[in-house]
Amino acid sequence: MSISFTVQSSIHNYDVFVQSTPDFISQLAQHPQACFVIDENVWNLYSATLLEALPANDVIVLPINEDRKNLETVQELYDHFVKLSAKRNLTLVSFGGGILQDITGFAASTIYRGINWIYIPTTLLAQADSCIGGKTSLNYRGYKNLVGTFFPPTQVHIFTPFLKTQKESDFYSGIGEVIKLHLMGGEAHFRKFIQLAPSILKRDPVALLQAIQASLAVKLNYMTGDEFDTGRRNLLNYGHDFGHALESTSNFAVPHGQAVVFGMMASNIVARNRGVLSKSLADEVLQNLLLPSLKVLPAAESIDPEAMMAVMKQDKKRTGSLLALIMMQNNFDFVRVNDLTSQEVTNAMAECRAILGLHT
């Protein structure tokens, strides 16, 4: 077992391990007072192979989709936990993607005021992005990520072979966040990703691991000194302003990372129209990264400007009467503005429809 890095947190520091073999799963299976919560898809794929060492009586298999990322599902876990003899000495071990991470992380942070939690991300999005940062988020009454806590795992274990069986749409959802982080890492990361992209999209394990490690390094850099997302870390929401809105307006038919790709495209249009992002750089990002990775197209009615703005007005980070937006600028600098206008949203949605060939 080799530690890739340690994340400093005022809640508790935690280690991220990059695993080359599945032996760590057998070791976790021997953990005293452990309960294993596993995404149903992961269990169906690996119960007889990678996960066969887990004690069946201690396994909870959860059907997972965006509609399940709510307080009701967390309460289902509470009902399981209170029946166990272990209380504050309980260790929750979860295997799954970002949705399961949110559900189990929130449950771990709130049951008995916090229990030990070990997370094994099984999707590209979770391995390259959400597994660090300590955020847990639940949806509430149709609003994305409105309820949540800051509560990091005590350990994260990254095992890239889980990605071999990930569905294409979900894999490309992860690619969206990887692109975002490589853009935010600066021009060198951007150029490197373009070079590695063919191998990454073929799920070459060496290229994937390079992309994952680079993505996490960029995210960690933005998190340093801003653990609770009150300053520079907020820039990591690049692509998420429009992206979260699209998730809601499409009734979550567009996966998160794919919505972020759309969000980056729309944000770059606004930035270009404001003159802070050159047309040449915006076009290069669009043609080389965004369009090739957008595999789940939204329905035209999902990007209706009025519908998008109605959701964006509920953004928990909004501070004024106008809308907030994270924008990419020239030289790969990023900025948050709080004066996005309805006309800018209308113009951006019209151009997105034209680029994607969508017709109302």
Residue 2 pLDDT: 63
Residue 56 pLDDT: 93
Considering the entire predicted model, what is its pTM? 0.93
Q: Give residue 131's domain range.
A: 3-165
Cα–Cα distance measured from residue 330 to residue 332, given in angstroms and rounded to the nearest whole number: 5
- Same-domain status, 176 and 142: no
- Same-domain status, 184 and 253: yes
- Same-domain status, 77 and 201: no
Domain boundary among 165, 191, 217: 165
Domain boundary among 149, 165, 181: 165
Within 13 Å of residue 178, how many CA atoms lie on the same side as its CB?
A: 30
User: The domain that contains 100 carries what CATH number?
Assistant: 3.40.50.1970
- Same-domain status, 57 and 85: yes
Coil/strand/helix, residue 115: coil
Give long-range contacts, CB 8 A cutoff, 24+ apart: 221-226.
Answer: 221/185, 222/184, 223/7, 223/132, 223/133, 224/8
- Same-domain status, 207 and 158: no
User: How many domains is the chain partitioned into structurally?
Assistant: 2
Residue 52 pLDDT: 97
- Same-domain status, 128 and 212: no
- Same-domain status, 247 and 121: no
Residue 107 pLDDT: 98
Q: Where are the alpha helices (DSSP H) in 64-186?
A: 71-81, 98-110, 124-125, 168-184
With 0-12 CB in 10 A as exposed, 13-18 as middle and 19+ as buried, what is 127? Answer: buried
- Same-domain status, 296 and 153: no
Residue in this structure with the two tokens 């509470």, named with its chain if needed: 78
- Same-domain status, 206 and 220: yes
- Same-domain status, 150 and 248: no
Residue 314 pLDDT: 83
Tokens of 105: 């992380």
Residue in this structure with the two tokens 């567009």, named with its chain if needed: 254
29, 54 contact by CB (below 8 A): yes
Cα–Cα distance measured from residue 240 to residue 244, given in angstroms and rounded to the nearest whole number: 5
Tokens of 46: 């690996």
The residue ranges of the chain whose pLDDT is under 70 are 1-3, 316-320, 360
For residue 256, report the phi and psi dihedrals to the nearest 5 degrees.
Answer: -50, -55
- Same-domain status, 317 and 261: yes
User: The domain that contains 338 carries what CATH number?
Assistant: 1.20.1090.10
Tokens of 3: 């530690």
Residue 319 pLDDT: 64
- Same-domain status, 152 and 188: no
Domain boundary among 165, 199, 214: 165
16, 3 contact by CB (below 8 A): yes
